Amino acid sequence: MAKFEAGYFGARFSLYPMTDRYVPVILGAIDKLRSSGLEVETDDVSTFIKGDRNAVWATLEESFAKAARSGEHVVMTALVSHGCPGEELCEIDPKTGSAGAPRPHPGTGVRVSCQWSLYPLGEPGYMDVIYKAVADTKADGVFSKGRHFVSHLEGDLDRVLDSIRRTFDQACESASHVTAHITLSANSPTRKAA
């Protein structure tokens, strides 16, 4: 643990394809990870990525879009974190990352069911930040239902992640340490039956 400096941003994600073919589906989904320019650290439970904020979100979107396009029932969980005081110094721009070129949207047309939670930490007024985030996903047209402990979102992958990312960036204005836990599901047989 080193001295805290605002700006440490990254994500930790896992892919769960519910198929005997889960290894090739996962490897196919993250085939560009090593050339993404991000710092990557993989273990037996999840993969950590760190770096430019746009590149991190784009990597999450692209990885899940590829996995979902396998047609298998697949789930991705992602923990996104900004400003964790337990992390070491990092010099990237905390809020925006590089502006860069407008990024592509590989998630367009990939229908997802999503549950997520937002945690602005260390702030007595954190619930107001959460309520604002929920209202913003409603305004974005991706909110489906409030559930115990999570919000349920539905829509195309790119729109769902863009909405979460905007609320996350806004929460970073109110709290120096913010995390979000996101579960994305595609091709669920429960969903098809419903």
Q: Which residues bind its own copies (CB under 8 A)?
A: 10, 12, 14, 16-20, 22-23, 41, 43-46, 48, 50, 73, 75, 77, 79, 81, 84-87, 113-115, 117, 119, 121-124, 126-127, 130, 146-150, 152, 179, 181, 183, 185, 188-191, 194
Give CA–CA dist 171/178, Å, rounded. 7
Smallest CA-to-CA distance from 154 within 164, 146, 142 is with: 142
How big is the chain, counted in residues?
194
**Shortest distance, position 102 Cβ to its own copies, whole Å:** 29
CB atoms closer than 10 angstroms to residue 178: 27
Alpha helices in 20-124 (DSSP H): 22-29, 53-68
Give CA–CA dist 111/178, Å, rounded. 27
Nearer to its own copies, 92 or 130 (CB): 130
**Shortest distance, position 104 Cβ to its own copies, whole Å:** 26
Nearer to its own copies, 35 or 190 (CB): 190
**Shortest distance, position 8 Cβ to its own copies, whole Å:** 8
**Shortest distance, position 101 Cβ to its own copies, whole Å:** 28
The SS3 of residue 152 is strand
